[in-house]
Structure 1
Amino acid sequence: MSDDHARQQLANLLSQASTVVPPFPQNSRYHVTPVATLVDSDGNPVRYLRRRFLPDPAALVQFAQHRVAPGDRLDLIATEALQDPELFWRICDANRCLHPDELTAVVGRRLRITLPEGLPGGPL
């Protein structure tokens, strides 16, 4: 067997064994956002994320509520309610907020804590 043939067989085997790794971790707000490719004027492919649309908060199933206390931080609220500080964006989505710091700026504000988009459940 020639070296070229062996290299080709190895390349074929490796290409079949490869898996697609999503560009963002599962707890990222962009995990399910599709990646698209545009070809620029020089013929070079440019990868980009398609737009992520915010879910309708009314369609999200609320399972808890948090009343903002002095010194609250959204990452700590997310850790307590969702067991992951990086899921703070789910609280933002549930409360239709683009700027996370706004959610904890007013002491006494009630924050909705919801299930992930698409999960069924009854209202709280």
Structure 2
Amino acid sequence: MFEPTSRYYNLKTTQFTTLDGRTITHVQRRFLPAGKALPTLEEVAIREDDRLDQITARTLGEAEQFWQIADANDAMHPAALTAQLGQRLRIPMPQV
């Protein structure tokens, strides 16, 4: 259902049957890992005009993997990660 690089790849699906007999398949909820438990590749300081997708492309090689940096920094709102100049972000070892 999801690509191996997706944050949802390892999640199980469940089914729900409605009162009228329809079966609805859905992905179970994803819980954030403890960021400090993820091995750190490096730390970077936020510079002016930094964007999370650019940081991710530069450090992990693929902009769409921004969720890995969000996880490593316990961020529910990824945009907040680049809001403060000088803030340090943990860049995790890539998760596969």
- Normalising by structure 1, what TM-score? 0.73
Q: CA RMSD in A?
A: 1.4
Which of the numbers 7, 10, 13 marks the counterpart of 1:35?
13
| Structure-2 residue corresponding to 1:8 | none
Identical columns (%)? 39
Whole-Å separation in 2 of the counterparts to 1:25 and 1:99: 23
Using the alignment, how far apart are the partners of 1:85 and 1:35 within structure 2? 27
Distance in 2 (alpha carbons) for counterparts of 1:116 and 1:55: 14
Q: Which residue in the other structure is 2:4 paired with?
A: 26
Alpha-carbon shift at residue 116 of structure 1 (Å): 4.3
Residue 27 of structure 1 deviates from its aligned partner by 1.9
Q: Which residue of 1 aligns with 2:31?
A: 53
Aligned pair count reads: 96
Task: Extract structure 1 runs of 4+ deviating beyond 2 A.
Answer: none
* Larger Rg belongs to: 1
Report which structure shows greater RCO (CA 8 Å, sep ≥6): 2
Extract unaligned runs of 5+ from structure 2.
none
The structure with the largest helix share of the pair is: 1
Letter in 1 for 2:48: P
Report if the CA contact (8 A) 1:36-1:49 is conserved: yes
The residue number in structure 2 matching 1:94 is 72
Paired with 2:55 and 2:13, the residues of 1 have a C-alpha distance of: 30
Partner of 1:77: helix, strand, or coil?
helix
